[in-house]
Amino acid sequence: MRPPLLQVRDLCVEFDSGTRKVDAVRGVTFTLDERGRLGIVGESGCGKSTAVLAMMGLLPPNAEVSGQVLLDGVDILAGGDAGMRRHRWCDIAMVFQGAMNAFNPVRTVGEQIAEPIRLHQNSSRRQAAERVRELLELVGIGAQRAAHYPHEFSGGMRQRAALAMALACGPKVLLADEPTTALDVIVQAEVLELLRNVTDQLGVALVFISHDLPAVAQVAERVAVMYAGRIVEEGPVSTLLTDARHPYTTALVSAIPNPLSDAGMCSIPGEPPRLDAPFAGCPYAPRCPSAHDVCRELEPPATFDGVRTVACHLVSTTEVH
Ligand X SMILES: Nc1ncnc2c1ncn2[C@@H]1O[C@H](COP(=O)(O)OP(=O)(O)OP(=O)(O)O)[C@@H](O)[C@H]1O
Among the listed residues 5, 6, 11, 24, the single contact to ligand X using CB under 6 A: 24
Does residue 210 belong to the site contacting ligand X (CB under 6 A)? no
Phi-psi label, residue 168: left if phi above 0, alpha if psi -120 to 50, beta otherwise: alpha
Closer Cβ to ligand X, 116 or 273, answer by number: 273
| Residue in 48, 145, 245, 287 binding ligand X, rule: CB under 6 A | 48
CA dihedral 241, 229, 89, 205 (to 10 degrees): -20
Q: Is 56 near ligand X (CB under 6 A)?
A: no
Q: Which of 44, 122, 124, 318 binds ligand X (CB under 6 A)?
A: 44
The nearest distance, CB 59 to ligand X, in angstroms, is: 7
Euclidean distance between CA atoms 216 and 222, whole angstroms:
9
CB of 167 to ligand X, least distance (A): 22
Non-local (6+) Cβ contacts of 158 within 8 A are 100, 101, 103, 109, 150
Q: How far is the CB of 249 from ligand X (least distance, A)?
A: 16
- Choose between 226 and 310: whose C-beta lies nearer to Mg ion: 226
Q: What part of residues 6-65 is at the interface with Mg ion (CB under 5 A)?
A: 48-49
Count of residues for the chain?
Answer: 321
Distance from C-alpha of 316 to C-alpha of 151, rounded to nearest angstrom: 54
Tell me the per-residue interface mask from 82 to 101 with Mg ion, x by CB under 5 A, - otherwise. ---------------x----
Number of chain positions touching Mg ion (CB under 5 A): 3
The option from ligand X, Mg ion, none interacting with 50 (CB < 5 to 8 A, set by class) reads: ligand X
How many angstroms separate the CA atoms of 235 and 244, rounded? 9
Q: How far is the CB of 67 from ligand X (least distance, A)?
A: 15
Cβ atoms of 180 and 215 closer than 8 Å: yes
Tell which positions 229-288 bind Mg ion, by CB under 5 A. none
Q: Is 46 in the site for ligand X (CB under 6 A)?
A: yes
Cβ 18 to ligand X, closest distance in Å? 10
> Which listed residue (11, 22, 166, 232) binds ligand X by CB under 6 A?
22
Distance in angstroms between the alpha carbons of the first and the last residue of the chain: 23
Instruction: Tell me whether residue 153 or residue 227 sits nearer to ligand X (CB atom).
Output: 227
Q: Which is nearer to ligand X, 98 or 236 (CB)?
A: 98
Separation between Cα atoms, residue 111 and residue 132, nearest integer Å? 9
| Shortest Cβ 178–Mg ion spacing (Å) | 6
Longest dimension (CA), the chain: 66
Residue 252 interacts with, from ligand X, Mg ion, none (CB under 5-8 Å by kind): none
User: Could you write out the DSSP letters of every residue in 251-319?
Assistant: HHHHTS--TT-SS------S-PPPTTS---S-TTGGG-TT--HHHHHSPPPPEE-SS-EE--TTS--EE
Q: Does 45 bind ligand X (CB under 6 A)?
A: yes
Contact between 19 and ligand X per CB under 6 A: no
Return contacts of 285-289, CB within 8 angstroms, 24+ apart.
Answer: 287/248, 287/251, 288/247, 288/248, 289/247
Within 8 A by CB and 6+ apart from 185, the residues are none
Question: Which residues of this protein are in contact with ligand X, per CB under 6 A?
Answer: 15, 17, 22, 24, 42, 44-50, 60, 62, 97, 211, 275
